[in-house]
Chain A
């Protein structure tokens, strides 16, 4: 991995995601703590010695919800009572969990969505204007 010089913050996280198509978080050199959310202080050992760490983008669905009443920005994208969308918690194969949109599943049939299913990052779907993590079934 090339030496990464971006600061540990959400601007960098989103830039990696949208420009470099990589899920970049941090690793603590002192204790090994991994966080997909870039942060300048280790929350486990309080060390300041962190480095960028690339996550593979593979994981599994730990829990989810299918949302019928969404916030304004989801309603504007056409989601709603007749077209619910799925969001959930993904456990990355490296261990940490993150929140994400779950694509490629039927929000109207949540009983058919299986927790434990393998997911991959859907980089092609990310909107550079409103970046957010999205996964789809592997």
Chain B
């Protein structure tokens, strides 16, 4: 049908000129609005040529469930007020863990349409108010309440079922899952904003030290894998997924400033352009066409690649949605970086490590950086923004020709996926 042609282009070019993040972690004294203010202040403090807040014309805020986490609905006007932006239009976008990925797209389209020139886009989530079972219940509301949730399937459970299907069909095994966690914690240890700014080796050593100090039996770990295979240190959550296969429960916020590309140089000499963007919907896992892949990711990626005029081979750095370790392996296949079933081998070969040919989740990913669900999509974009500008510090990808990066943000278990392709300049 002509009306659903994938050959869509933006009406005009859109650039990112600034990015900010709150700390990611557990902050008992901060509500989501405080986190958003912190991210916004970080953005302003690092905006190369500064700006007048009054120039922001519109904002979109991704947020999954302040309703259930904080008993607060209608959060958008509160953000407007706390940032001193009332009465500009601010709209909350909810697409589960892809909320801010979708919010970003709304901001892109608001500028591309010609309606606005300067738009703030962000996301936030305050999750640590609730105990783990409560968070599990809230996250499960992203699945189908009629036909999935009553069967006891949880969010980790559905990804556990994907992992089992992937292990049945391909050579993926439990060790591969753990290696994703090890890799992403190595990257997270180089990210001062990460919730887990620490390697798994560090965590292992801490456990040994603690046992020694308390006079308890000292675990005999020869490697991180021994530690991760210790059910005391790494208990099952939803077999075949263990604690360290799961992104943590996180409070945090992130935001970026979008502007029409023709005025980007009023804000910075190093803008990053939205080269392509794609979003797609998908069905519950039981109705997915494959149990080992998220169709929405494949569709969103195809749209984004087409708009950007690039292929998977052109992507030099990527932030993908590793809400669970298996999700990173599946993402690396869905995005076309590796053939279906080859994601685990590519990981084994170090290709997705910071010094590999396809570095994935340089920020630490959701796994180590943290996963305040409504903020994650924009936090991924912030990481690629910093990478393409060469300002990612210790975790900077060592490639003088770094120009093209990608973000992959999944809502729920693949009901939504947003893929963005960013280009330096």
Chain A interface residues toward B at CB < 8 A:
10, 13, 37, 62-72, 74-75, 79, 81, 84-85, 87-90, 96-101, 110, 115, 130-134
Contacts and interface: CB of A to CB of B under 8 A. Distances in A.
Given A66-B236, A97-B287, A98-B147, A71 B136 contact: yes
Contacts of A13: 146
A110 B240 contact: yes
Interface stretch (B70-78, B80-88, B155-163, B354-362): B155-163
A126 B100 CA distance: 39
B286 interface: yes
B168 A115 contact: yes
Given A63-B165, A110-B239, A75 B150 contact: no
A133 B151 contact: yes
Contacts, number: 115
Contacts of B154: 67, 69-71
B235 A81 contact: yes
B136 A65 contact: no
19 contacts: A62-B165, A65-B156, A65-B239, A65-B240, A67-B152, A67-B156, A67-B160, A68-B235, A68-B238, A71-B149, A71-B152, A84-B236, A87-B152, A89-B161, A89-B286, A89-B291, A99-B153, A101-B151, A115-B168
B176 to A, nearest CB: 17
Interface residues of B, number: 37
Given A68-B239, A84-B236, A37 B146 contact: yes
B62 to A, nearest CB: 24
Contact of B150 (A65, A115, A131): A131
B140 interface: yes
Nearest to B162: A63
A contacts with B: majority SS: mixed
Given A63-B164, A99-B286, A69 B132 contact: yes
In the complex, the 4 A-B pairs of residues with the closest C-beta atoms, listed nearest first: A65-B160, A132-B150, A63-B165, A66-B239
Contacts of B148: 99
Nearest to A36: B147
B164 A64 contact: yes
B291 A87 contact: no
A74 to B, nearest CB: 5
Given A66-B236, A101-B152, A88 B147 contact: no
A29 B143 CA distance: 29
Contacts of A74: 152
A115 B153 contact: no
Given A10-B146, A63-B291, A89-B286, A72 B161 contact: no
Contacts of B162: 63
A74 B284 CA distance: 21
Contacts of A132: 150-152
Nearest to A116: B168
Nearest to A110: B239
B165 to A, nearest CB: 4
B156 to A, nearest CB: 7
A63 B167 CA distance: 10
B89 interface: no
Contacts of B168: 63, 115
Contacts of B285: 89, 99
B392 interface: no
Nearest to A68: B236
Contact of A71 (B133, B147, B163, B236): B133
A84 B164 CA distance: 16
Interface centre among A74, A81, A100, A130 (most CB of B within 10 A): A100
